[in-house]
Amino acid sequence: MTKFALSVAATDGAARTGVLTTAHGDIRTPAFMPVGTAATVKAMTSEAVAETGADILLGNTYHLMLRPGPERIAALGGLHKFMNWEKPILTDSGGFQVMSLSGLCKITDQSVTFRSHLDGAKFELSPQRAVEIQNLLGSDIVMALDECTPFPSTEQEAADSMRRSMDWAARCKAVWEAPTGRGLFGIVQGSVFPDLRRESVEALTTIGFDGYAIGGLAVGEGQEAMFDVTQATAGSLPTDAPRYLMGVGKPDDIVGAVLRGVDMFDCVLPTRSGRNGQAFTRSGTVNLRNARHKDDSSPLDGDCVCLACQNYSRAYLHHLVKAKEILAATLVTWHNLTFYQDMMAGIRGAISGGGLQAWVDGFLARYAGDREPE
Question: Is the previous residue joined to 68 through a cis bond, with omega within 30 degrees of 0?
Answer: yes
Our answer to whether residue 228 is catalytic in this structure is no
Measured at the CA of 239, the angle between CA 233 and CA 240, to 5 degrees, comes to 135
Active-site annotation holder among 12, 55, 92, 263? 92
Number of H helices, E strands in the chain: 15, 16
Residue 253 catalytic? no
Q: Do 312 and 304 touch, CB atoms closer than 8 A? A: no
Distance CA 258, CA 348 (A): 10
Q: How many CA atoms lie within 13 A of 200 on its CB side?
A: 35
Among residues 55, 266, 301, 342, which one is catalytic? 266
List, as one string, the DSSP characters of 206-232.
Answer: HH--SEEEE-S-SSSS-HHHHHHHHHH
Instruction: Give yes or no for a contact between 186 and 212, defined as CB atoms under 8 angstroms apart.
Output: yes
* Inter-residue contact 166 to 198 (CB < 8 Å): no
191/187 Cα distance (integer angstroms): 12
Residues annotated as catalytic are: 92, 266
